Amino acid sequence: MADEKTWKKWQGQGVPPGKGGMSKSDNPEADEVEGRGRTMAMVTCFLCGATGAIDHDAQWYTCWKCGGTATTMVS
Ligand SMILES: [Zn+2]
């Protein structure tokens, strides 16, 4: 809760620089089987409102549902 990020739509080509990836649609707990030790953060898609899980230190994500890309990189 103290780690809220401000997501902005990525306007560039491809994907933003830095750490990131596709959000997970659900069952983030199940993902710990393959990624034990990783801390996940929940995000709410800025476009479709779907909730997804991403790495806590990710700087961008692509929504699993609508395919929109958001980034914390504000320039
Ligand atoms: Zn979305």
pLDDT of residue 46: 85
In a domain, 10, yes or no: no
In a domain, 8, yes or no: no
Output the CA torsion 11→13→18→23 (10° steps).
70
pLDDT beyond 80 at 45 = yes
Centroid of ligand 1 to alpha carbon of 10 (angstroms): 13
Centroid of ligand 1 to alpha carbon of 64 (angstroms): 7
Cα separation, 68 vs 30, whole angstroms = 24
Range of the domain at 30: 22-70
In a domain, 13, yes or no: no
Q: How confident is the model at residue 44 (pLDDT cuts 50, 70, 90)?
A: very high
Total of domains in the chain = 1
Q: Which residues, chain by chain, have CB under 5 Å from ion ligand 1? A: 45, 47-48, 50, 63, 65-66, 68
In a domain, 15, yes or no: no
Cα separation, 33 vs 58, whole angstroms = 20
pLDDT beyond 80 at 1 = no
Centroid of ligand 1 to alpha carbon of 61 (angstroms): 10
Q: Check: pTM over 0.95? Answer yes or no.
A: no
